[in-house]
Amino acid sequence: MSESKYRDWILETIDSLRSRKARPDLERICRMVRRRHGSDPDRTREELEKLIQEQTVLKVSYKGSISYRNAAKVQRKSRKKSDFTPDNGGGSEVEGEKAIHSSLNNNGDSAHSFTDLEEVESRDREEDSVSEPSEYPDPRPETPGLTSEKKQKLFPLNSGNGPGCCPGCGETGCAETGCAAGRGCSGKASASKDKRLGERGGGGGQEGGGSSPLAGNHETKPGQDGSGAPSKAKGVCGGAGGVETAGQEGSSSCVGVAAETEHKICQGSASSCSSSNSHLMRPKQLQPASPLVKPKLRAGRCEGNPWVGGSGQTSSDLGERLIASVRRLAEQNRASALRGETRGGHKPLGLKEILGYLTSQDGLSSEGKLTRNRVKVVLEREVARGRLRRTRCGNITLPVRGVEAAPAKPTGPANRLLKSALQDKHIGKKIHRTHRSTSREGDQNMLSWFLCVWRGSAYKTEVGVSSCLLTPTASPRDSGLAEERGMNGGVFVKSELGSLNPVNWTVSDVVSYFTSAGFPEQALAFRTQEIDGKSLLLMQRNDVLTGLSIRLGPALKIYERHVKVLQRTHFEEDD
Phi, then psi, of 57 in degrees rounded to 5: -125, 135
- 338 to 343, 396, 403, 526: CA distances (angstroms): 10, 20, 22, 37
Determine if 211 is a binding residue for DNA (CB under 7 A): no
- Beta-carbon count within 10 A of 484 CB: 12
DSSP string, 369-429: ---HHHHHHHHHHHHHHTSSEE-TTS-EE--SS----SPPPSS-HHHHHHHHHHHTHHHHH
Query: Is 75 or 366 the residue whose CB approaches DNA more closely?
Result: 75
Give the count of residues interacting with DNA (CB under 7 A): 44
Q: Does 291 bind DNA (CB under 7 A)?
A: yes
Q: Interface with DNA includes 149 (CB under 7 A)?
A: yes
Distance, in Å, from the CA atom of 381 to the CA atom of 308, rounded to the nearest integer, reads: 14
Q: Which is nearer to DNA, 77 or 392 (CB)?
A: 77
Considering the complex, state which of residue 77 and residue 339 has its C-beta at the smaller distance from DNA. 77
Please state, in angstroms and as integers, the Cα–Cα distance from residue 397 to each residue in 319, 356, 394, following that order: 14, 16, 9
To DNA, the closest distance from the beta carbon of 369 in angstroms equals 7
Integer CA distances (angstroms), 380 to 84, 126, 386, 392, in order: 35, 21, 10, 14
Binding track, positions 234-273, relative to DNA; x by CB under 7 A: ----------------------------------------
> Which of 46, 87, 128, 151 is the binder for DNA (CB under 7 A)?
151
Interface stretch with DNA, choices 27-35, 331-339, 509-517, 527-535 (CB under 7 A): 27-35
CA atoms within 13 A on the CB side of 417: 36
Q: Which is nearer to DNA, 202 or 291 (CB)?
A: 291
**H-helix segments, 464-506:** 476-484, 489-499
Diameter over CA atoms, the chain: 71
- Which of 186-194, 218-226, 429-437, 453-461 is the region at the interface with DNA (rule: CB under 7 A)? 186-194
Cβ at position 35, least distance to DNA in Å: 4
Dist. CA 285–CA 295, nearest whole Å? 19
Please identify, using beta-carbon distances, which residue of 191 and 259 lies nearer to DNA: 191
Among 69, 125, 301, 570, binds DNA (CB under 7 A): 69
Instruction: Indicate the residue among 150 and 460 with the shorter CB distance to DNA.
Output: 150
Pick the stretch among 218-226, 228-236, 368-376, 420-428 that binds DNA (CB under 7 A).
368-376
Interface region with DNA, contact rule CB under 7 A, candidates 64-72, 270-278, 412-420, 481-489: 64-72
Give 532's contacts (C-beta < 8 A, 6+ positions apart). 237, 244, 249, 505, 506, 507, 509, 510
| CB 41 to DNA: min, Å | 12
Helix (H, G, I), strand (E, B) or coil at 70: strand
Contacting residues toward DNA, per CB under 7 A: 16, 18-24, 31-32, 35, 60, 62-63, 65, 67, 69, 74-79, 147, 149-152, 188-190, 192-193, 195-196, 291-292, 294, 368-369, 371-374
